[in-house]
Amino acid sequence: MKKEEKKDQAPLLSWSEKGSGNGVVVAANGTQEWLLKWWWDHYSKKSDFPVTFFDLGMSKSARNFCESKGSVRSFTFPKGMIKTKEAISQKNIESWENTYPGDVWVGREQWFTKPFILLKSPYETTVWMDLDCEVLKPIDPLFDYANGGDGFSILQFHKDNANYYNTGVIVAKHGSKVPLKWAEQTQKRNEHHFGDETVLMEMLEHENLKITPHPLPYNCPTILPMHEDAVIRHYIGAQGKIQILRNL
């Protein structure tokens, strides 16, 4: 008999009951599920931490695949929480649609889930990974970056005389105030933001938060040269997905 999915009773803007150990979370909807097998093939060869897959609207076959590899939880936003195109300024509509080659309005429904999914993680220390991340080496040391500061770690890097953050790989300790504040700001201000990263960047400018950046090898984006010690190669953007497709 198929195991019934455990329902999370915690409110949207709060941490779920504390879990145990280290684990990985990923998420997919119907447009991203083609990456699941590719991601799993690379991850499972290098690391064996438990994985929880968050179903944002997968097909039945994709969900069955995830259930064969780890645990699966469903997540949906309350209706109307992520503002639709009608609620966005014309200036932002033009900017966002010119920036993103796909359907930005579908994409936003997935991008903004990150802080909320971290709050629902069943692990004491969680690594979030985007599905376009290729795991090249064991990720064990990555979990330690959540032990300092406010228990939250993302990549910070310098390019073209500017500082950037990337949330393709996140490490978070259960109870960290960063995902909670991030989720709160997402709920309040998502109509002003293209995606999850700009909400977090705005928050970091105004909040006294102690973020612990993890080194480039743990989230080496394809807009930078390949790091010789890369643990995770992150195929960001449309060009990154084309690279993945070529390698399939």
Whether the predicted pLDDT of 60 surpasses 50: yes
**pLDDT of 4:** 45
Task: Give the CATH number for residue 89.
Answer: 3.90.550.10
Give 3's pLDDT tier (boundaries 50, 70, 90): very low
d(CA 165, CA 202): 11
Residue 8: band (very low, low, confident or very high) from pLDDT cuts 50, 70, 90: low
148 assigned to some structural domain = yes
8 occurs within a structural domain = no
Mean pLDDT across the stretch 215-230? Answer: 94
Residue 78 covered by a domain = yes
- Domain assignment present for residue 219? The answer is yes
Report pLDDT digits (tens) over 138-174: 999 999 999 999 999 999 988 777 788 899 999 999 9
Nearest to 127 by CA among 158, 163, 156, 151: 151
Running DSSP on this structure, what letter comes out for residue 1? -
Confidence class for position 49, pLDDT limits 50, 70, 90: very high
| Cα–Cα distance for residue pair 30/18, rounded to 1 Å | 29
pLDDT at 164: 81
User: Does residue 14 belong to any structural domain of this protein?
Assistant: no
The answer as to whether 7 is a domain residue is: no
Instruction: Determine, yes or no, domain membership for 15.
Output: no
Between 43-47, 101-105, 207-211, the lowest mean confidence (pLDDT) is in 101-105
Query: Could you please report the per-residue DSSP string of 185-210?
Result: HHHHHGGG-SSHHHHHHHHHHHS---
**Structure confidence at residue 9 (pLDDT):** 57
Q: Which of 31-40, 74-83, 102-111, 152-161 has the highest mean pLDDT?
A: 31-40
The rounded mean pLDDT for the chain is 91
Q: Is position 1 within any domain? A: no
9 backbone φψ class: left, alpha, beta (φ>0; ψ -120 to 50): alpha
Contact 210, 74 (CB under 8 A): no
Q: What is the average per-residue pLDDT within 18-45? A: 95
**Residue 236 is part of which domain span?**
22-247
- How far is residue 79's CA from residue 214's CA, in Å, rounded to a whole number? 35
- Provide the number of structural domains found in the chain: 1
